[in-house]
Structure 1
């Protein structure tokens, strides 16, 4: 009988140890785009890497529908309605300042170098200033070069663009459109099909990928710009309380696959679907592609210079030093990144 308490204690300890070993952290994830969209699949790829790198201690559970519309996603992650998601900084105008640097025209023709370079600049300059305070930033990234798409006619000049109504996604392109005198309305990407199919809008500003992803079969014309007419700044994020509750070992795993690793996952996914949309959906529906004329490009550059000056002043007022130098460094990093 004397040995029973010891035996019981030993068994209990063994069961507790087994339970601890099998304990698993499950992160809920949310996506406001379709399950097949590259944003959703890239988030899934990151989650698969998380499970692999943690030897199964951490995994994700994708919710069947978004917990909120795209503009409310940042707050949803911050407040713990969902553990992991992504959003477009420009969907909440005026909230983020430094990130606008990744939205400027003519940055690059591929999502990978712009995303990797943006992540490097973000980590070095923006993260210390608390640009996304309230969430644990897993990575920042951009989509491919922005294009003018429409269902009506070739857009060869700034005046052609001014004669049509466009849906846009916010950020720098919102301000640039105003300076150019264009008729644009800020709406989240998932609303594009209804806006264009009902004739409320004549076109939309999007990367190549979106024609296929959002099934925009009404699109017949595309105007491209070297390096893109615009770009979009995204943040991929985690609820901070969820992160803080992790063990040191698991925090190290999350940190290991965050930053450039996450940026590259999203960038590579975007480049792949951009190419597929150009070669597939757009070709099948007869989209006519033209490149903006030098005069059109120069008109955009003239207006954009005003916005870069405005951005630099606003960023420095928020604590960023030598904003123009940071922008130049960002462009240099894009040229180096592959």
Structure 2
């Protein structure tokens, strides 16, 4: 009887341990992206977000971050890597796969996005369920965000008017950015950002539309003489990014783990992300100026010339959306209204 009692007690203990192990199960995720581990995006965006998810989960979640495409492939392949379940999570530029996220492109348009990344992030958050979700089959979006906007960074040309772009070869990561350059008479050159320093050095491109925050990690100050922006930090549009999870992986998670992700990805985080990216922007332009580069800010009159020159980009985008059965005008109006709303907070 004593032996039987001991056996029963052991069985109960083992059962309890098993239940406890199941309750305390670890969920490990691989997050893949294309920038270096020293980039502001890695250190100031992806790492803090991952740590917040882990903390929210009470230690049940672990997120391993793989920078610089260390799991293989090229940056434009990231969206398919996560859709196919090769990785669990990705952070990527929407524009690396042109036309795949048409509705979300509204935030990239010149003079729709102006100069406030936090306001644009919150606008994207509000628009996601009602207007943008259909762009994202096969993934569960954790959050969308933008950078500080397309500043003009040139090897040796001080551009102060649309005419200054004529014939120049300019790097851009998105098709809407390419439309901006075409409207200005420039030659758009698409390439992932890690390829930019060598392209500038070799004269493959004359410049780039890209934020100042990229200056420190890529040493862009060494390949350029001019950093240019429009009045009141206005930029020629922006780029949208997504941090997304494989949809099947997301659907397999219990509600408490999903909540840990959602709580780390809400409005407070998106507003803070806008402040973080603005801060890295200021750091980047300071590095360029300290290296002897010229930081040029255009006048309101010069800025208005760019507004007029790029209006056909918005018209072109609206016409294309209308041809797909998407109300482009409504998206432009809503995006502008929400940016104005959140920019006043």
The answer to whether TM tops 0.5 is yes
Q: Which segment drifts farther, 159-168 or 192-201?
A: 159-168
CA contact (8 A) 2:105 2:240 kept: yes
1:200 Cα offset (Å): 1.8
The alignment partner of 2:135 has SS state of coil
Q: Select the residue among 282, 285, 296 that pairs with 2:291.
A: 285
Specify the SS of the correspondent of 1:290: strand
Select the residue among 82, 90, 95 that pairs with 1:85.
90
Equivalent residue number for residue 122 of structure 1: 128
Q: Is the 8 A contact 1:138 1:262 kept in 2?
A: no
Match of 1:2, SS state, is helix
Q: 1:253 aligns with which of 260, 263, 275?
A: 260
Q: What is residue 199 of structure 2 aligned with on the other side?
A: 195
- Within the candidate set 140, 155, 166, 2:159 is matched to 155
Deviation at 1:295, TM superposition (A): 6.1
Q: TM-score, normalised by structure 1?
A: 0.91
Aligned to 1:139: 143
* Residue 267 of structure 1, CA deviation: 2.4
Of residues 55, 58, 66 in structure 1, which corresponds to 2:61? 58
Unpaired segments ≥5 residues, structure 2: none
Is the CA contact (8 Å cut-off) linking 1:100 and 1:171 kept in structure 2? no
Aligned to 2:177: 173
Q: Structure 1 222/132 Cα, relative in aligned 2: closer, same or farther at 3 Å?
A: same
Equivalent pair of 2:147/2:277 in contact (CA under 8 Å): yes
Count of residue correspondences: 334
Q: Deviations over 1:98-157 (max 9, x none)?
A: 111111123232321222222222333111xx1111111011111002111112121122
- The SS at the match of 1:94 is coil
CA change 1:287–1:185 in 2 (3 A) is same
User: Partners in 2 of 1:178 and 1:64 — Cα distance?
Assistant: 33
Does the 8 A contact of 1:220 with 1:285 survive in 2? no
Unaligned 5+ runs, structure 1: none
What corresponds to 1:208 in structure 2?
A: 212
Q: Distance between the aligned counterparts of 1:80 and 1:171, measured in 2?
A: 27
2:340 — aligned with what? 335
Q: Note the C-alpha offset of 1:225.
A: 1.7
Partner of 2:117: 111
CA displacement at 1:258 relative to structure 2: 2.6
CA RMSD of aligned residues (A): 2.0
CA distance in 2, matches of 1:208, 1:65: 20
Query: Residue 19 and residue 140 in structure 1: after superposition, are their counterparts in 2 closer, same or farther (change >3 A)?
Result: same
State how far apart, in whole Å, the 2-side matches of 1:305 and 1:166 are. 19
**What secondary structure does 2:182 align onto?**
helix
Tell me by how many angstroms 1:54 deviates: 0.8
Aligned to 2:21: 19
Runs of 4+ in 1 over 6 A off after TM superposition: none
More off after superposition, 205-214 vs 133-142: 205-214
